[in-house]
A and B are shown apart, each in its own frame.
Chain A
């Protein structure tokens, strides 16, 4: 493989890219656009749930409880209907997601220690926010109830009474439990994969479609030189795209890189290599640019979205699907990315994933080379 002939191929590819502004937009602008779109739309945080309270008691205690509920940012008290039956309409029209019913004589029963029951009603159509909302609400109610107990005991002079043990929670890596911190690295993998495969999948099939391949076949150019010459410029450009995406993730979603930048660069380069090789393989197999476009869409969009662990946890999938997800490079990239960006951990935690991605890229490159050699048959 002579390096002499790689350089003209690289320069030719760069000229193509420069003359076709659309490919530049595809590689540099579209990733950020998708990041912004998905970054804001894909949000699993449950906040500001619409709440209705039916306060049949209307005592000092009940009002205090309601005030406690609405002091945080989890619930917005939207309605205070007078009857429980009024809640039906509110749920039916999706005006509220959750409702709390405080019974008559709530305050009096509380003081007399009769242990009144409160009722929580919730809309279970979308289970995730329903569950989260229920969790928040029960938590607040339990705390209130415990505090009342302690207060009561204190009043009887038992001020040394505390709970048997205290719970102190500390969330690691993402203390505010923001879903964007979890999603943005996945989004990066998704965006980069889709864009790179798309951009490279067109390169070789275009030469065939435009009949320029014949002239290349007659020249001394080898398949390896052609492939390397085509990979390098796209690798460079997509690397810039990756940096832009990282910057956008930091500026827009506050996802800063905790770990080593060099390690991050290495992981990104390996992943881009996977994407480039996949694109090249498609390009050697596809019969036209249209087919290449469709193939790259099918082979990247769904797998990297669904099977990479980007949104849905892989361990919850049936074994067969888990097996399929095992050949999706984005899955491994995500492990590395989350480890470096969110956790700031070192190579030890994800070297296996890096080895897999490298192997994937090499195997796929080899396959496309073999396919190309067949058409070169010389």
Chain B
């Protein structure tokens, strides 16, 4: 789907263990220019490890990473400066002001004090009014925007963002996304991990990682097409105990619990009346039953359950 020259990142068979525990187990992935790839998966799936390996902050046990179409054993300094990394933790100087942080990082990248660039980034991230504020005194969303601005000072071609929107309020999150889309339009490649699937819906491609393995790597639409089944939403009293009791029934390809409701996944040919009948025979007090379009969440839980993992 992308030509070789446009390939920004290509990963083959990447593996990494920590103290004998496999964090990543043979992951293949590629990101093209102007592409926005979302990395999703449960906690501990290996998302952070993958990103840190790409940044060169950890070294892989096996596998290869190709940066910008050039294969090399180690991340070279020429390639490194084309990466922008935003860690899961706030990794700026809290006692320095917004402007001082930006200034410091831009000068680390050899740019002599570049006031114009700093101004532009402040403007771009809508941080100009807070330029004199110490980074530690910013709100969570603003901290992330500042961190993003700091990773942009050297104009990287590939952005590696590790859960940048976790713990950020919805308004700032939308802001953040707007900034990312603008970057994508500028042709930057973005690889971002997120626990929010509504974010993944907007990505060019979605990579699902589970227990260190890549379960799927597709566009959101293709992923949903792969999903062979219909989803019915059931509202009933005590969904938890019904979840346990109905789980083993062969009628259901999959059963998913979403808070106070159950999602019943069935084969495409199954009709709603059949389900209703079955449920009533089982003794379920059906309050509401309706077919819903499959969301990424359905797809992922389906895929994860299919792969044999718990979660």
B75 / chain A contacts, CB cutoff of 8 Å: 378
Identify which of residues 131-156 in chain B touch chain A, using a CB-to-CB cut-off of 8 Å: 134, 150-151, 154
CB distance from A233 to the nearest CB of B (A): 14
Identify which of residues 10-28 in chain A touch chain B, using a CB-to-CB cut-off of 8 Å: 11-12, 15-16, 19-20
> What 1/0 flags go to B92-133 for Cβ under 8 Å of A?
111110001001110111101000000000000000000000
Are A378 and B105 touching (Cβ within 8 A)? no
The prevalent SS among residues of A at the interface is helix
CB distance from A134 to the nearest CB of B (A): 60
B68 / chain A contacts, CB cutoff of 8 Å: none
Q: Is B281 an interface residue (CB 8 A)?
A: no
Q: Is A2 an interface residue (CB 8 A)?
A: yes
Q: Is B55 an interface residue (CB 8 A)?
A: yes
Are B108 and A15 touching (Cβ within 8 A)? no
Are B108 and A220 touching (Cβ within 8 A)? yes
A4 to B106, CA, bound (A): 12
Q: Is B87 an interface residue (CB 8 A)?
A: yes
A20 / chain B contacts, CB cutoff of 8 Å: 95
Are A211 and B107 touching (Cβ within 8 A)? no
A210 / chain B contacts, CB cutoff of 8 Å: 91, 93-94
- Nearest residue (CB) in B for A377 is B59
Q: Is A82 an interface residue (CB 8 A)?
A: no
Q: Is A8 an interface residue (CB 8 A)?
A: yes
> What 1/0 flags go to A206-231 for Cβ under 8 Å of B?
00001110111111110000000000
> What 1/0 flags go to B47-65 for Cβ under 8 Å of A?
0000000011101000000
| Segment of B77-85, B214-222, B262-270 engaged in the interface with chain A | B77-85
Identify which of residues 121-162 in chain A touch chain B, using a CB-to-CB cut-off of 8 Å: none
A7 / chain B contacts, CB cutoff of 8 Å: 107
CB distance from B77 to the nearest CB of A (A): 6
Contact of B57 among A4, A5, A19, A217 (CB under 8 A): A217
Are B109 and A15 touching (Cβ within 8 A)? no
Are B85 and A218 touching (Cβ within 8 A)? yes
A215 / chain B contacts, CB cutoff of 8 Å: 85, 87, 91-92, 105, 150-151
Contact of A220 among B56, B74, B80, B92 (CB under 8 A): B80
Are A19 and B105 touching (Cβ within 8 A)? no
A151 to B116, CA, bound (A): 97
Are B96 and A211 touching (Cβ within 8 A)? no
Are A211 and B87 touching (Cβ within 8 A)? yes
A5 / chain B contacts, CB cutoff of 8 Å: 107-108, 110
CB distance from B39 to the nearest CB of A (A): 18
- Nearest residue (CB) in A for B113 is A8
Are B91 and A378 touching (Cβ within 8 A)? no
Contact of B108 among A8, A211, A377 (CB under 8 A): A8
Q: Is B89 an interface residue (CB 8 A)?
A: yes
B74 / chain A contacts, CB cutoff of 8 Å: 378
A210 to B93, CA, bound (A): 8
Are A219 and B91 touching (Cβ within 8 A)? no
A16 / chain B contacts, CB cutoff of 8 Å: 93, 95-96
B181 / chain A contacts, CB cutoff of 8 Å: none
CB distance from B272 to the nearest CB of A (A): 52
- Nearest residue (CB) in A for B90 is A211
A12 / chain B contacts, CB cutoff of 8 Å: 93, 96, 100, 104
A11 / chain B contacts, CB cutoff of 8 Å: 104
A377 to B112, CA, bound (A): 26
Contact of B55 among A8, A15, A216, A218 (CB under 8 A): A218
A2 / chain B contacts, CB cutoff of 8 Å: 110
Are B95 and A211 touching (Cβ within 8 A)? no
CB distance from B21 to the nearest CB of A (A): 21
A19 to B135, CA, bound (A): 12
CB distance from B107 to the nearest CB of A (A): 4
B107 / chain A contacts, CB cutoff of 8 Å: 4-5, 7-8
Known: A12-B104, A217-B57. A212 touches B92 (CB 8 A): yes
19 contacts between A and B (CB under 8 A): A2-B110, A4-B110, A8-B107, A11-B104, A12-B96, A15-B95, A15-B100, A16-B95, A211-B91, A214-B55, A214-B91, A215-B151, A218-B55, A218-B57, A219-B109, A220-B80, A220-B108, A378-B75, A378-B80
Those 8 A-B pairs whose CB atoms lie nearest each other, nearest first: A8-B107, A211-B91, A19-B95, A219-B108, A211-B89, A12-B104, A212-B91, A218-B85
Apart from the given pairs A210-B91, A212-B92, 18 other A-B contacts in the complex at a CB distance below 8 Å: A4-B107, A5-B107, A5-B108, A8-B103, A8-B107, A16-B95, A19-B134, A210-B94, A212-B91, A214-B57, A214-B91, A215-B85, A215-B91, A215-B105, A216-B108, A218-B85, A219-B108, A378-B75
